Amino acid sequence: MSVRERISERIIREFSGIKVPYKILVLDETTKRILDTCTDMNAVFDAGIYNVENISKKRQSYSYMDAVYFVSPCESSINAIIADFAVKKTYSAAHVLLTAHAGDELFQKLSSSRAAGEIKTFRELYVEFLGIEQRGFQTSLEDEAKSGRGGLSGVSPGEAEEIAKRLCSFCVTMDEFPTIRYTNLPGTPTKQIGEALEKSLQGYRESDKVFGAKSRGTLLILDRRADLVSLLLHEFTYQAMVQDLLPVTRANRYAHKEKTVALDEDDAMWCTLRHKHIAQCKDELDLQIKKFMTENKAAAQKSQTGEQKEKSLEEMKELVSSLPKYHEMKEAFGLHMSLAVECIKRLNEKKLDEVGSLEQTMATGTDADGKRRGVSLEELFPFLRRASLSEKDKVRLILLYGVTQESRSGEIESACREASLGGDIASGVRKVIDHRELVLQLRDSVMSRRKKKKQGGFLGLFGGRQDDDRYELSRYETLLKGIFEVYAEGKLDEEVFPYLNSRRVFSGEGKAASLRKGHTPKKKPETEELLVVFVVGGVSYSELRDAYFMAETTGVECIVGGLGIERPEEFCENFNWK
């Protein structure tokens, strides 16, 4: 079952389990975001919910209905529950479902109030994270991403504790008590977060002895510094382009014509297209429309003029718009044609094919013909002068140059001056470059253990043309893809990615079997093996895509998570440059 489905099922099951004739669902901002991400309101109403209200707003009294408070364990929400029963009862009774464990102080405050006598149900659900996709999740519950933090800007002990608590929610929801591994880089918070997570999971197991009895997984906490390249490159697959180039909200909503649409897994066409190269999207849409035309004679008559001529995306868009019937088909195809057309329009306006070619050469260390070469500052300068590129585009190029090329003293400063950028940018790039040698060692550890080594490339890693990719602008392969592959072969370096404590390996029957520390299994894991990679600092869309690809090719269940799903422009905008 997917991450998104698992969290949705867990929440809806709790709603349905409250057997009363009428139920009002009361949410706070956190739980509204969680529900918006993982399910739709039809499922909520099917669970017997009569109405949905916001706990922070003035609400009508329903003395004959029970209230289901699905809220986070924060002071404002607990105070609101107490106030609803302080003088006159707002509802007949209360059923309190918290997203996570309530601290002793808040629990005592609630249990000593008048509301305590009206509470029929009290549960801590451990669902305080966002199930973004089938194989993707994030721990940040905010509307806006806080990019450029974590592995790059560091986290405080309090922030590490908060991340660990939300990772604990993820593990409980997935019923996994995983083996924890982390990135062994100086200055990284990965071990700190892992230790806090282990403590949280042990605490939960004390109240649920069967938790994780059939655990089969490993959770690897990865530092974002390990692969900044995948975050900075312009991607040319559909989902990545839409998120990078178009005004999509953090909740994956897009204003299309006069309505706001959701770009999520409830849209079958989105799922079909999201990981395809933009060039393949046109072919897929063309195929789907032709299929529709053969199945609907009235629609076919509309397109009989020029029927044999291959149509552009714009022409297909006009064709679908001309059909007065078939509203659902019109909306679905019309949306994705508009998105694809707009992506290609932005690509052409910014000449991103030329930018992407330069980026791929920097990232892989080879040109489109497979010849090994670097990129000089003189090659970069013309792109930094382009009026068609935004300031953030230029920052991406300079960061990518600094991370991938062995720049001499003063080169980054020269590049920033050429792009009319401030001195803070140059110092920020230098801060990233300072970790280059350590990152090289980590990457080389993964590269050297891959079953099929590839020659050349950025730092000698994953260079050259991908075997399964015809597109010159998609030559670079992410470090995460290599990690999934090497893990599936049982060859992940224990010095670079050490185990947090003593190693735990679970058999198919769920019984723990200890192995001598340092031993690496030679056998490929069973098909039910699970690897979750959590990136401190956020996950790129290319890494999210690779989780799907590697799950299909390795037999390992691959899931990727992070503080957020990062967009390159937001990363550059919010990075702590000073």
Instruction: Render each residue's pLDDT in the chain as its tens digit; 578 residues.
Output: 699 999 999 999 999 999 999 999 999 999 999 999 999 899 999 999 999 999 999 999 999 999 999 999 999 999 999 999 998 999 999 999 999 999 999 999 999 999 999 999 999 999 999 999 999 999 998 755 554 444 465 678 889 999 999 999 999 999 999 999 999 888 789 999 999 999 999 999 999 989 988 877 999 999 888 899 999 999 999 999 999 999 999 889 999 877 899 999 999 999 999 999 998 998 898 888 777 777 765 555 555 554 545 566 666 666 666 555 566 777 888 899 999 999 999 999 999 999 999 999 999 999 988 899 999 999 999 999 999 999 999 999 999 999 899 878 789 999 999 999 987 888 888 877 777 777 777 888 887 888 655 444 433 333 333 444 458 899 999 999 999 999 999 999 999 999 997 655 543 333 322 222 333 334 444 446 899 999 998 899 999 999 999 999 998 999 999 999 999 988 887 766 65
**For residues 173 and 1, what is the distance between their CA atoms, to the nearest angstrom?**
11
Structure tokens belonging to residue 30: 């956190």
pTM: 0.87
**For residues 576 and 431, what is the distance between their CA atoms, to the nearest angstrom?**
10
List the Cα angle 150/156/162 in 5-degree steps.
80
User: Is 238-350's fold the same as 352-436+454-466's?
Assistant: no
**For residues 274 and 565, what is the distance between their CA atoms, to the nearest angstrom?**
15
Give the pLDDT confidence score for residue 444 in this predicted structure: 82
What pairs with residue 259 in β-bridges? Answer: 256
What CATH number was assigned to the domain covering residues 352-436+454-466?
1.25.40.60
**For residues 522 and 520, what is the distance between their CA atoms, to the nearest angstrom?**
6
Give the pLDDT confidence score for residue 156 in this predicted structure: 84
CA–CA distance from 295 to each of 281, 292, 299, 300 (Å)? Answer: 21, 5, 9, 8
Q: What are the φ and ψ backbone dihedral angles of 180, each rounded to 5 degrees?
A: -105, 130
Q: How far is CA 501 from the centre of its chain?
A: 27
Structure tokens belonging to residue 28: 């706070």
Give the pLDDT confidence score for residue 143 in this predicted structure: 59
**For 296-422, where are the alpha helices, taking DSSP H only?**
297-302, 313-321, 327-350, 352-364, 377-384, 391-404, 411-418
Task: Using the Cα atoms of residue 172, residue 173, residue 179 and residue 180 in order, give the sign of their dihedral.
Answer: negative
The residues, any chain, with a CB within 8 Å of residue 35's CB and separated by 6 or more, are 11, 27, 44, 70
Contact indicator for 428, 575 with CB cutoff of 8 Å: yes
Homologous superfamily of the 131-226+477-574 domain (CATH): Sec1/Munc18 (SM) protein, domain 2 (3.40.50.1910)
Largest CA distance in the chain: 78
Q: 386 by DSSP, 3-state: which?
A: coil
Long-range Cβ contact pairs of 376-379 (< 8 A, separation 24 or more):
377/401, 377/407, 377/411, 377/414, 377/415
Out of 3.90.190.20, 3.90.830.10, 3.40.50.2300, 3.40.50.300, select the CATH number for domain 238-350: 3.90.830.10
- For the chain, give percent helix, strand, coil, nearest 5: 45, 15, 40
Out of 1.10.8.80, 3.40.190.10, 3.30.360.10, 3.40.50.2060, select the CATH number for domain 3-127: 3.40.50.2060
Beta strand 136-138 with 130-133 is antiparallel
Tell me the residue ranges of DSSP E strands in 164-317. 179-182, 217-223, 253-256, 259-262
**For residues 345 and 340, what is the distance between their CA atoms, to the nearest angstrom?**
9
**For residues 410 and 420, what is the distance between their CA atoms, to the nearest angstrom?**
15
The residues, any chain, with a CB within 8 Å of residue 543's CB and separated by 6 or more, are 227, 230, 478, 480, 481, 535, 560
Q: What is the DSSP letter of 311?
A: P
**For residues 164 and 170, what is the distance between their CA atoms, to the nearest angstrom?**
10
Q: What is the DSSP letter of 175?
A: T
Helix axes 479-488, 541-554, angle to 10 degrees: 20
- One-letter amino acid for residue 111 of the chain: S
Q: Which residue has the tokens 């001195």?
A: 423
CA–CA distance from 69 to each of 91, 96, 108 (Å)? Answer: 11, 5, 18
The residues, any chain, with a CB within 8 Å of residue 276's CB and separated by 6 or more, are 237, 238, 284
The residues, any chain, with a CB within 8 Å of residue 426's CB and separated by 6 or more, are 412, 413, 415, 416
**For residues 151 and 227, what is the distance between their CA atoms, to the nearest angstrom?**
11
- The C-alpha R_g of the chain, in whole angstroms, comes to 26
Domain ranges in the chain are 3-127, 131-226+477-574, 238-350, 352-436+454-466
**For residues 296 and 283, what is the distance between their CA atoms, to the nearest angstrom?**
20
Burial, 39: exposed, middle or buried (Cβ in 10 Å; 0-12, 13-18, 19+)? buried
